[in-house]
Structure 1
Amino acid sequence: MISTLPAWEQSRRGLHVRFSLFASLVAISSLLNAPVTSLTIQQDVNALRALQAAWGGKPSTWDFSTDPCDTLWLGVGCDDTHTRVTQLLLINQDLTGTLPSSIGDLTNLTNLDLSSNAKLGGSLPTEISNLKNLQRLFIQFCNLSGQIPTVIGNLTSLSYLGLTQNSLSGTLPDTIGFLSNLFWLDVSSNQLTGALPDSTTSPSGSGLDNLTNARHFHLENNSFSGTIPTSIFNTQMQLIHLLLHNNMLTGNIPTAVGNLIHMEIMHFDSNALNGSVPSGFSSIQNLTTLHLDNNQLGGQLPDLSNATNLQMLYLGSNNFTSAPIPSWISNLKKLFLLSMDSANLFGNISADIFSSSSNISNVTFASNSLNGTVDLSSANSRLRLVNLSNNDLAGFVNSPTTVQIILDGNPYCDNNQGQCDSLRAATPTLINASACSGSCADNYLINPKLSTTCQCSRPVVGNVDFLATKLPILEDYNLTLMEEEFASGLSQSAFMNITFLDFQVVVNTFTATHATVSIFPPNNTATWSPSDAALISYAIKNQEITYPGIGPMVCAFIGTPYDAVIIVSGLTTGAKVGIAIGVVVFVVAVVVLGLYAIRQRKRADKAEEANKPFAAWIATGEGGDANIPQLKGARWFSLEEIRKCTNNFSQSNEIGEGGYGKVYKGYLASGEKVAIKRAGTDSLQGAAEFKNEIELLSRVHHRNLVGLIGFCFEEGEQMLVYEFMPNGTLRESLSGTTGIQMNWERRLSLAMSSARGIAYLHTEANPPIIHRDIKSSNILLDDKLVAKVADFGLSKVAPTDDGVAPLSTQVKGTLGYLDPDYFMTNRLTEKSDVYSFGVVLLELMTGRLPIQGGKYVVREMRVALAQEGMAQGVKSMVDPELKEYPLEALEKLVELALACVEDSPESRPTMAEVIKEIESLSEVTSAKPEFQGNNEYSQEDKLAYMQQNLGSPFDYSGSYTAFYGNVQPK
């Protein structure tokens, strides 16, 4: 209602209200501040304030009208006097920006963990050297760049240093050797170069060999070069894990390797090491895992007969002198994985290797010159896999138990190909099945171990990379052991006060060293409390928890952050309640005052703002007009326009909600219907990031991409205005919620149109773009049921020059669609999108979610084909709602999907090749297609079917005649 009071009276009353509010605020502030000003010292408060400013206002729950040490502040822990900050634990809190120099002002810090914050970049500030009391420093799965500062050597109290999965470059500073208390050193999966620091050659006289108390050197997946320092292998070292794989190391393995008597796991694989294998390996009695494969090692095969505790041995792909399989292998009774591919072996295979007295489970002798007959008649019951492909074997005697045996490329298979195919198909039994079906909201899952309830609940979910697994492969038959040890480790953690039961832990594996671990809340509970969720995250990745049957690991947490607090307050409950009430009153008063001020300012500035649509942008940075987005076709909308076309964001206009925020339908002044994505508070980006996103979106224009019409960036709002897609998502259509008939041709058409959209991004966009989040819920259907790819919030510009290395970036994506190679290496290529699209193809054919009832659709399809053969396997997996289909075409589409989800990116097709293959499927079906069930159709039936179920045949790019013969529509 418009006020009828004269202007002077409105002004007087407004002044009176403001004065009353001000007086109330003063009183509240005095009440709140009086008991807390003498607690946390101002130096620590100022440091936290600077951190929040550098991190884009996060954590947003930090309230500087309260005291950090005696109120519930996210991730802040203090000493017993409640005056100094000693812990800063902000795991997976979506921090943005960099780690500022003010971190050095928290001089009493003992524990700093900022892991799993993908947007946290920049370099490690030199001021970190001020943290003399720091014992644990974990900044993992972030986006740090630059060099590790030499002042890292000043942190002499440090016992854990974890910097894995960043983009750090340069050399590993020799001052690392000054960290005499270091127990855990992990700088793996970065871009570090140069020689490993050695005290005998470094300027400081310090190096890795000075870290005599260290138990873990995790240096893998970098570009370290030169020789392995001999000085590391001295009798004073306490190392149990030495991981050097996937580097560029050369020269010999030092002969003094036997001095590391405590060693359990050693990885030298995937380097360029040469010379012979030192005999010292055999004298390491604790050695359980040894990787020497993929090098240039020569001479005789090593004699490891005295390494009687060996469980996993990899010797393949070297230049050893041609020799028979060593006889001493039969003496290693604890050995359960033996890999000697391309090891220059010849002669017969002794049956003793597989005997009932051995523990062998997985054996691979592929690509050698072995001959004779393989006899598995007396094999032990633990044997699961034998790979003898590409040898000269002429005979075979099978095992009495089910074993997967690969004999391809041997003379035996020339006359027994059917049996060879059958042997290869044997697979272990899967577990974690669930009778539940359906889907849950974002971040919520159904625990497959509670199939009687089928309750959607929110687990703490982490992507786990096992650095040196003690298992041959993380296959399903090992999951029970892993789950038990995760539950036990969490229950015994000093950080937890909860007993975890086995059913609460669910592990799903994707590759030999990568799994996803979900920690579900107790039965009949939908979600963890915020504090418990935060403690679980910290406890899982805290390196004091060990999993003896699995091996060391790192964990990146996924999903939106819990609003978590890791604090024990020193105040009484009554004091907390009183302060909380005061804070609420304070906040309400500030909001009222703020709304009044905004209203007054709007009246004064309305005309000016209308003429300066980019004023908000110019204000966010320096450079004036240089900050204005360079757009191609997209327009700016004022907040007032957006409010009008959505009826002030009314609930009736809400059409969906996702991780980004809510989506509203609206009508522009022109009458055009649009979809408006409004960023939630937790999804707001920095101005530069939002600018980059809309500039990227405005450059891509293709009939199979959802078009960006415009954006709004005003008063703290970030909104994207898209063309409206009336038929929802592909996922919704497959689930049956839209009522759209998902017959064979429609599915093939949707696969084609979405593939074309992705291919455009890869090859025709300028510059090329990697989507990074291809999934069925990001493929939308327009009014003609044409598929369009949407949601470019995670997209990255791809390298354009030939020979440019793949992008090295923090892992982002959606569980179930995520490329395992991208997860393990952080290297993003177009083939990561191809993997995700392969999962979408499997969804189209099966109707299943990627992960449903504890089962991964990629593995399920592979298992079905291996156990039942192609035709029957496809039939058993096909969507029950797909009543009729050309079987041959469906089989070829399955083959294409499985090619897209190959573990190696090099083995996957490009999107252009995918499109070509889908196009060729239309030729598989003749004029009278033979559909599943051998149903025959007359020309009239075909036309009626098309008109009833598919609408106008001209909407489907000419595929009508390819599938239904030369029938002309009426």
Structure 2
Amino acid sequence: MKIMDFMWNSIGGSIPKEVGNITSLELLLLNGNQLTGSLPEEIGFVPNLNRIQIDQNHISGSIPKSFANLNKTEHFHMNNNSLSGQIPPELSRLPSLVHLLLDNNNLSGYLPPELSQLPKLLIVQLDNNNFSGSSIPSSYGNITTLLKLSLRNCSLEGPALDASGIPQLGYLDISWNQLTGPIPSGKLASNITTIDLSHNRLNGSIPGSFSGLPNLQRLSMENNNLDGSVPSDVWRNIDFSGNRSLILDFHNNALTILANPLTPPANVTILLSGNPICTSQNQLNISQYCQSTSVVVPGGSTNNDTLCPPCSTDLPHENILRSPIPCLCAIPLHVDYRLKSPGFWDFVPYEAEFQHYLSSGLSLSSYQLEVSTFMWEEGPRLKMNLKLFPNNTALFNSGEVLRLRDMFTGWLITDSDIFGPYELIDFIPGWYENVLPRRTKSSLTTGATVGIVIAAFAAAAILSSLITLIILRRHSSQISKRRNAKKIQMKIDGVKDLTFEELSNSTSNFSDSALIGQGGYGKVYRGILADGTGAAVKRTQQGSLQGSEEFFTEIELLSRLHHRNLVSLVGYCDEDNEQMLVYEYMPNGNLRDHLSAQAKEALSFPMRLRIALGSSRGILYLHTEADPPIYHRDIKSSNILLDSKFVAKVADFGLSRLAPLPAMEGVAPGHVSTVVKGTPGYLDPEYFLTHNLTDKSDVYSLGVVFLELLTGMQPISHGKNLVREVVAANQSGMILSVVDTRMGPCPGECLERFAALGLRCCRDETDARPSMAEVVRELETIWQMTPETDSVPLELESESVSMDPSRTGTQPSSWSAGGSMMAYQYMSSSDVSGSNLPSGLVPSTNPR
């Protein structure tokens, strides 16, 4: 047996270790299921294995070191699972490996420099893992075969990679990390399409080496600390004929100079908002580039305009748009297809090349293949629907249908450098169904048939493992029959479909001893899943149940959100009038509990600052990276959870938090709501009055959390409002009277800037508040100023003074809250309560 294909069959259970006994196996295709457990190390001893596709399951545990024995393996696809631990450096011994896809897991440790020794490596995709403290090995800049390197959102530190030594590099993404230092000035490969260095801490000027790259589609450097000149000729040597375009995103940096006039072609988009140059009165001619604008990755469909008369409706005929025979009608085959790691940002300029590549691989003429629709998914991955037409006739013959089906399912199409590895999602024969052997994805017959075929080739141990798979499929089918007949069946990547019985067992039958939270939606229980993973089970009460379609839409949305400062969705349950969401468990509870007077240990100032920064990064991700964008609406300290290392993770966001879409003509604006959602004390006053929700509404709520971190107090306590009390204390020169002494001594300038930022966020006027990107940048600056140790000397007693600019130098850029602040090297407050607002220390004020 050479092929084991169980793709997209909703199989549960674990991978049997007996698979390792199938010595003739070449393709192991288990992606798109609900497999759990760990990877059997026995797989590493299958000598002929060429392709491992176990992506989009729930596999946990580490990658076995035995996989380094797979000398013939070219494709290593294990993305979208729950793998943890270190990437084994031993994988560098794989002589044939071309694709290493491990993105969207829980991998940690350091990036192995040894991967640069792989002689045939083309694609490295490790996005959305947690290599905290690791830097990008400089040796990765010497992988001469590399076509794509994607290390997005991996908690990487240190300098940016100098990739100028990679001669064929077409795609580089090292965004959403904590990289520092200047951008390397070496010239990148001429065929590069995408360069994303955004959301880091890079400084210095933008090198001129990004000019003259003929295939460049996007250059993203937003949300860094870059200064100097705005590049004015990046588009040099780019041919903008046809549908070519270029995005240059430099917003939220410190660019101040325009050395040459900006005269880009019409197809070039430049984004400069959030740079000082946009506020310079001498640069009015660039105002068009200073608007707050987001760029959406384009999707689309084929233009079906034709002058031909409609085809007959008796059969599902369609016009073949590019047929050499005018107005030829034929019945197409449909194929759902996905590019798992494309080497470009915009598909439109590559569409014709893709049609030629794939039609050639299928031995079809180019006009016989049409991309009906395409859309980008998280990854980024490109999903599309293809139509295949017969050659100058109305119908495929049966032999051609079977040949095409076998070409797709047998992985007989050669991978392309620019389009990367592909995935067959579904081959849809439609009208030609009677040509193919009858089979149903959800039936047991398929599993039994496959079991019989494999048993003919395998030993008794293998037969045993396949019987196990069949039993699991029967069990899954029985469970499905018990569910509500109206439930919408769908597969959601990376999220476990759990049964009520499984969750009941994990929570000791939802016992009170497992109860860890309760709200208007229902109750939250601590649970231990079957694989030993800790989880928080959110059980919706009867009055809060959603329709199945809405419920699954919310799950699908949540499953696409991956950020180290967001609580991850692990699974869900929708059966027997029960709807439950299962999240990763946060052992250190919520921030509010740690700020209360009853907390066993107080949070130090550096810990509070780190929590503020992590929470802000999570919210910034929701605003700018989620698709569609999400406004939280209910940010509060009890919705900021802390993991075992006190890393902050924002919770309680979902479908009800979708950011408003632009208003359409004749339709009421989507951002005006008749019901204000939120928690008293955290509500944006402008949103409360106008019901007009914006991203600055979240900024206000987060500012209240910052003031909670500063004071330890609650937003509303004993009739007093936290924001008004802190503003009054600041204006009276008594800001130290409200600072929480339990956090110990802290640097005065850091405390000053943090308090100023919190007050800016809580300004009544929306326009006076900073953007989330500005909040993150200011917190990163304060963090860099904060000593790494908590043991700082106490050099200041509490006193009431006003800030003297002559003593402190220039005011911090974040200062616009009004009033006065303290500015000394180190600062500590007097002994005041950490739970209630002090009485008598500040002028009496009325609550908001």
Structure having the higher helix fraction is 1
TM-score (norm. length: structure 1) = 0.44
